[in-house]
Structure 1
Amino acid sequence: MTEPRSGAAIKVDGVRKEYGSLTVLNDVDLDIRAGEFLTLLGASGSGKSTLLNIIAGFIKADGGSVQVDGQDLTTVPAHKRGLGMVFQHYALFPHMSVYDNVAYGLRRHGFPKSEIPDLVAGALDMVEMGHLGKRRPAQLSGGQQQRVALARAVVFRPRVLLMDEPLGALDKMLREQLQLEIRRLHQEMGITFVFVTHDQEEALTMSDRIALLERGDIVQLGTPEELYGAPNSRFSAEFIGVSNIFNGSRNGDVFTDQGNSATHKVSVGDPQGTALMVRPERLRVTAGQVTPQAHENALPAVVRDCVYLGSDRNIHVTTASGESLVARTEVPRVSDGIEPGAAVTLTWNIDDGRVLAGGTGL
């Protein structure tokens, strides 16, 4: 097995990238901690893959610098940076066995022949592929090929492993399985992982911290809990998870909904925010009319649809002003009268609503 080792800290300082008149990265600053799992998250065109490739050395920045453990690598070629890289398309040699695919780079870099078998065996064992070393890529599933690509990247024992949407070509079940495997690999190796994805659930599952990018800027950086529970803008709230958004204005501890002039008590978020966010799982749905408690808000609505999700259900409702909202609740053991067409009351705790700044959403 590959021996655990400490990861390297990465400092991105004022990195800028332009293609003609298009600014892809806008003076990005980012400190990645040694040994952490950091995910670069964003939509297509947000700059996340460009930033990863600048760190890797495959793309030259138009400004700024990249340092690894204090060493400036800005002008160092990719093959001399000592960073591991896993691509979305595995780029395995089809005519080589699994073993030879993993050993190829070691041979090219002049590793002693006597060390190569143990290094390859350790890397393959770490990704649970040691028993398939004689097979060729065409004889492997997509998930197995991705494991081989991981083994090929970690066989050098890098202090940093960069991954550019490595699970993008896999089906949902396999993606979820490999998410946990990559997380386990990170914990065993103790090195720094930088992972690119557009999938917010993937980012929440795997990361120590997430850097959310929009149009070349990092708009929020924090733990999964921080980005989901305390988004700093409407964009963050709508990109991470599902959100119910009320448009309006805040005055002290009262938010006024511009759609119907209804008022909701608030206690957290932006003092001048123009959107009120409530996550679906924070909404309670009760058949009929309900008088809210002192610490609650209440809003009447009509059920439009109920979507069964196993242990949970999504209840889609419409308010009197035409707002569409969704609540996620447990599936009751007996009927609770919540069905399409039913009049219900939505309630939520005051501190479960967060006032946000910014824009009109995604």
Structure 2
Amino acid sequence: MPKNANTQEPLTGASIEVDRIRKVYGSTTILNDIDLDIRAGEFLTLLGASGSGKSTLLNIIAGFIKADGGDVRVDGKSITSVPAHKRGLGMVFQHYALFPHMSVYDNVAYGLRRHGFPKAEIPGLVADALEMVEMGHLGKRRPAELSGGQQQRVALARAVVFRPRVLLMDEPLGALDKMLREQLQLEIRRLHKEMGITFVFVTHDQEEALTMSDRIALLEKGDIVQLGTPEELYDAPSCRYAAEFIGVSNIMTGSRAGDVFTDTRNQTTHKVSGGAADGTVLMVRPERLRVSAGQVGPAGHENALPAIVSDCVYLGSDRTVHVRTASGEEMVARTEVPRTDDGIQPGVPVTLTWNIEDARVLAEEAAR
């Protein structure tokens, strides 16, 4: 709760139902009958590459874009025909859109005045909103006197000053540098927990999505290819696209027969369990691979693949070992930096090993 709002209880977020939402521009389908249930009070991220439809979906929920089919409901009530300014949803854009001639205080107060809030209530509401984003001490400054991160905090304050039950954010950190982005990721996550409202966040940055979200909806070409927690998307991707978009993946292609996967490029077989029964992709994350000098791996691992080291990159406590298999495929392992020389260096023959539970068989494409 904001420090100046001791008498206010945290808000309860609203649920959002996206029911068969469709959007078409000319001959191009942007959203293909999207269904999505967003739980009250959760932090849900719409993640995807440019052109996946994530921002279009957010703007349809906000009311800035009209869908060509389907319905949007908030707490079970349709808002599809409700104008954007009457939906009661907070919105934060990538570009702050602050009034340059107004102070921080007046930027936040502007909407309250425009909507006819009682004059006596406005100072308290603005103070609470600025306190939530730790900008209360800069209320007299103008946007040009603030850093990019501070301006984005003001934009957040302006969105939450109405105390909406839903806050929509369209790549709000996209214009910031890496360090500031990471700082504000934690700030937005804290704000979500304090307010208790529903956050819907759009980004193309998978690390940002993993850091902030309760659940992630991964979009590709107008479809949701996977919906789940960050852990589910990372550890159990639904298809090759999800595996390659979230984190770094080592991919082998081939076919599965029971508990054996045949890597057709390297002409090797590997023991598998779980995953897609008829999957054609075997995924192993870099941190799950072990690298041993020589062509024989250590005992205790069910699977092995010979390779040649092409590069080693020092990362402090960790290192990445880049290798090339007999077929020419590039793979990467992430391991701890050894205390003594283990002989792993460019040009050295090595063996990659992993256990059954460290790999996952995937479908080439997700069910649409």
Q: TM-score, normalised by structure 1?
A: 0.98
**2:301 corresponds to 1:298:** no
Map 1:248-263; keep pairs closer than 5 Å.
248-263=254-269
Partner in structure 2 of residue 334 of structure 1: 340
Partner in structure 2 of residue 45 of structure 1: 51
> Which one of 150, 163, 166 corresponds to residue 160 of structure 1?
166
> Which one of 271, 279, 284 corresponds to residue 285 of structure 2?
279
d(CA) in 1 for partners of 2:209 and 2:134? 23
d(CA) in 1 for partners of 2:78 and 2:267? 56
Is the 1:37–1:209 Cα contact (8 Å) retained in structure 2?
yes
Is the 1:292–1:298 Cα contact (8 Å) retained in structure 2?
no
Partner in structure 2 of residue 62 of structure 1: 68
Is the 1:268–1:353 Cα contact (8 Å) retained in structure 2?
no
SS in 1 for 2:64: coil
> Which one of 207, 218, 221 corresponds to residue 215 of structure 1?
221
**2:230 corresponds to 1:233:** no
Partner in structure 2 of residue 101 of structure 1: 107
d(CA) in 1 for partners of 2:131 and 2:300? 58
Aligned length: 360
Q: Give the partner amino acid of 1:309.
A: L
SS in 1 for 2:123: helix
Q: CA deviation at 1:260?
A: 2.3
> Which one of 343, 349, 352 corresponds to residue 346 of structure 1?
352
Residue by residue over 1:59-109, the C-alpha shift from the partner in whole angstroms, topping out at 9 and shown as x without a partner, is: 011100000001110000000000000000000000000000000000001
Partner in structure 2 of residue 357 of structure 1: 363
Q: CA deviation at 1:233?
A: 0.3
Residue by residue over 1:270-324, the C-alpha shift from the partner in whole angstroms, topping out at 9 and shown as x without a partner, is: 1111110000000011112334546520111111101111221111001122111
d(CA) in 2 for partners of 1:125 and 1:347? 52
Is the 2:297–2:352 Cα contact (8 Å) retained in structure 1?
no
> Which one of 193, 197, 213 corresponds to residue 199 of structure 2?
193
Q: TM-score, normalised by structure 2?
A: 0.96
d(CA) in 2 for partners of 1:333 and 1:112? 67
Worse overlay, 336-345 or 291-300: 291-300
SS in 2 for 1:268: coil
Q: CA deviation at 1:359?
A: 5.1
d(CA) in 2 for partners of 1:30 and 1:261? 41
SS in 2 for 1:281: helix
Partner in structure 2 of residue 321 of structure 1: 327
SS in 2 for 1:75: coil
Q: CA deviation at 1:337?
A: 1.1
Identity %: 82
How big is the alpha-carbon RMSD for the aligned residues of Structure 1 and Structure 2? Answer: 1.2
Partner in structure 2 of residue 151 of structure 1: 157
Map 1:9-24; keep pairs closer than 5 Å.
9-24=15-30
SS in 2 for 1:263: strand
Runs of 4+ deviating beyond 3 Å: 291-295
d(CA) in 1 for partners of 2:222 and 2:297? 47
d(CA) in 1 for partners of 2:73 and 2:161? 23
